């Protein structure tokens, strides 16, 4: 008798407690067939009235979309279908719902996960892939930032060391009985002189970074030095830099040795690349080419420091050669050529600044003593 009657679909937590399968089962909100007790348990009177309003809107205008979705129903993000909340899983990252088919899980695995998802959590496949890519990019960016911070830390420590050295020298001068005491006005002048000296020294070094000094390049009559230098680079080096200007250092004379040539290039990078490429000149089969050296344009203080470092290296090599019978490789010989080691150049720059500032302080103290 009741075989053709609709069966109550029950509560969200399970089937109908009474198992109603008779004429009392009616079509309710969201096309659910419910008995009066289950209908009352699922939806309050206000919600039920609102649901009936939605149903009437659907019947009067079949083309208009649904105005709302009941609280117990959710939209699957994988297939855009509306399904019950009890038969779907919520992603912990994107907060979207997925049914069993869209999660690509077997039914038994899906059912087991539903029972423990409150404690274990669940992440959809798309979020797992996206989060992995973001994590890889984050690791790469973190490595780059770590390298930059380490470089910056080293530079700051070197500057702090230079400032401390200058401060120690000033304290020594202030405690020296032979040094006249500086008044407050002269002290302000001394600080100004030190700052001005540091700025000028740094500007001078920065300006010289794009220059090179060429030694041993022959002077030719009726031929511009720019042409001679460009031709030499083209024939003997792997780089032909763009020359801004050239001029010979010193007075012209009848000496056999050609004057040094100061070459101004486009940028400091071009000058550094040219100095690195000039190392191949030592392997040339021509004596004239091997006698040409391309060195950085150093200040007087930097040149003095470079000379002292060469003397120390030569003394160390001589001492080593006297205590051992092994031959020294030719690659270990240090010529008067350029030194592109960043650590050595940085030390030379810092020492040059300290030397220049010390000289400026001495001149200021002497001037104050005369006054």
Q: Taking the domains of the chain in order of start, what are their residue ranges?
A: 73-123, 125-207+299-320+341-371, 210-297
Tell me: pLDDT of 121 over 60.
Answer: yes
pLDDT band with cut points at 50, 70 and 90 for residue 2: very low
**Better-predicted residue by pLDDT, 30 or 109:** 109
Tell me: pLDDT of 55 over 50.
Answer: no
Q: Does domain 73-123 have CATH number 3.30.40?
A: yes
Helices then strands, counting H and E runs in the chain, come out as 11, 10
Tell me: pLDDT of 302 over 70.
Answer: yes
* pLDDT score, position 5: 72
* pLDDT score, position 303: 83
d(CA 232, CA 218): 10
* pLDDT score, position 335: 41
Is the separation of the CB atoms in 40 and 65 below 8 Å? Answer: no
* pLDDT score, position 44: 59
pLDDT band with cut points at 50, 70 and 90 for residue 181: low
φ, ψ for residue 74 (rounded to 5)? -130, 165
* pLDDT score, position 149: 92
pLDDT band with cut points at 50, 70 and 90 for residue 34: confident
φ, ψ for residue 149 (rounded to 5)? -65, -40
* pLDDT score, position 111: 84
Tokens of 113: 């996960």
* pLDDT score, position 196: 78
Question: Do 210-297 and 73-123 have the same topology in CATH?
Answer: no
Q: What percent of the chain is predicted at pLDDT more than 90?
A: 5
Mean pLDDT of 80-102: 83
Closest by CA to 114, choosing from 96, 90, 93, is 90
Mean pLDDT of 277-293: 88
Query: Of 81-90, 185-194, 218-227, 353-362, which one has max mean pLDDT?
Result: 218-227
Mean pLDDT of 225-245: 88
d(CA 289, CA 283): 9
* pLDDT score, position 68: 40
User: 248-252, 339-343, 366-370: which range is least confident on average?
Assistant: 366-370
Mean pLDDT of 87-95: 87
pLDDT band with cut points at 50, 70 and 90 for residue 250: confident
pLDDT band with cut points at 50, 70 and 90 for residue 71: low
Mean pLDDT of 96-112: 84
pLDDT in tens, 148-179: 898 899 989 889 988 988 988 888 887 776 65
Mean pLDDT of 85-109: 84
d(CA 369, CA 354): 22
* pLDDT score, position 10: 80
* pLDDT score, position 145: 93
User: What are the C-alpha distances in Å from 289 to residues 136, 215, 223?
Assistant: 51, 11, 19
Q: What percent of the chain is predicted at pLDDT more than 70?
A: 73
Long-range contacts of 162-169 (CB under 8 A, 24+ apart): 162/350, 162/353, 162/354, 165/354, 166/194, 166/354, 166/357, 166/358, 166/361, 169/358, 169/361
Q: Which CATH architecture has domain 210-297?
A: 2-Layer Sandwich (3.30)
């Amino acid at each position: 008798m009741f075989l053709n009657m609709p069966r109550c679909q029950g509560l969200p937590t399970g089937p109908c407690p009474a198992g109603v399968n008779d004429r009392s089962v009616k079509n309710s909100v969201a096309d659910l067939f419910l008995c009066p007790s289950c209908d009352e348990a699922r939806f309050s009177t206000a919600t039920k009235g609102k649901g009936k309003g939605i149903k009437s809107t659907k019947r009067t205008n079949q083309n208009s979309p649904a105005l709302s979705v009941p609280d117990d129903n959710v939209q699957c993000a994988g297939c855009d279908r509306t399904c019950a909340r009890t038969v779907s899983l919520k992603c912990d990252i994107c907060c979207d719902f997925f049914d069993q088919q869209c999660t690509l899980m077997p039914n038994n695995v899906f059912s087991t996960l539903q029972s423990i998802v409150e404690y274990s959590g669940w992440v959809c496949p798309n979020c797992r892939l996206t989060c992995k890519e973001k994590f890889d990019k984050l690791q790469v960016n973190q490595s780059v930032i770590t390298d930059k911070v380490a470089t910056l830390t080293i530079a700051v420590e070197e500057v702090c060391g230079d400032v401390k050295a200058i401060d120690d020298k000033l304290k020594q001068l202030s405690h020296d009985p032979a040094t006249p005491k500086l008044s407050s006005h002269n002290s302000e002048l001394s600080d100004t002189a030190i700052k001005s000296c540091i700025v000028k020294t740094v500007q001078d070094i920065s300006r010289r970074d794009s220059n090179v000094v060429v030694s041993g390049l022959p002077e030719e009559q009726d031929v511009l030095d720019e042409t001679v230098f460009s031709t030499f680079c083209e024939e003997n080096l792997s780089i032909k830099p763009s020359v801004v200007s050239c001029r010979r250092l010193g007075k012209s004379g009848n000496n056999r040795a050609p004057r040094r040539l100061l070459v101004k290039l486009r940028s400091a990078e071009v000058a550094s690349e040219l100095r690195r490429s000039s190392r191949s000149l030592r392997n040339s089969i021509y004596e004239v080419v091997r006698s040409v050296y391309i060195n950085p344009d150093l200040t007087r203080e930097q040149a003095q420091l470079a000379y002292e470092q060469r003397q120390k290296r030569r003394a160390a090599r001589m001492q080593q050669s006297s205590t051992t019978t092994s031959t020294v490789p030719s690659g270990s010989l240090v010529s008067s050529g350029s030194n592109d080691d960043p650590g050595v150049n940085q030390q030379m720059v810092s020492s040059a600044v300290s030397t220049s500032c010390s000289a400026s302080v001495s001149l200021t103290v002497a001037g104050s003593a005369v006054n």
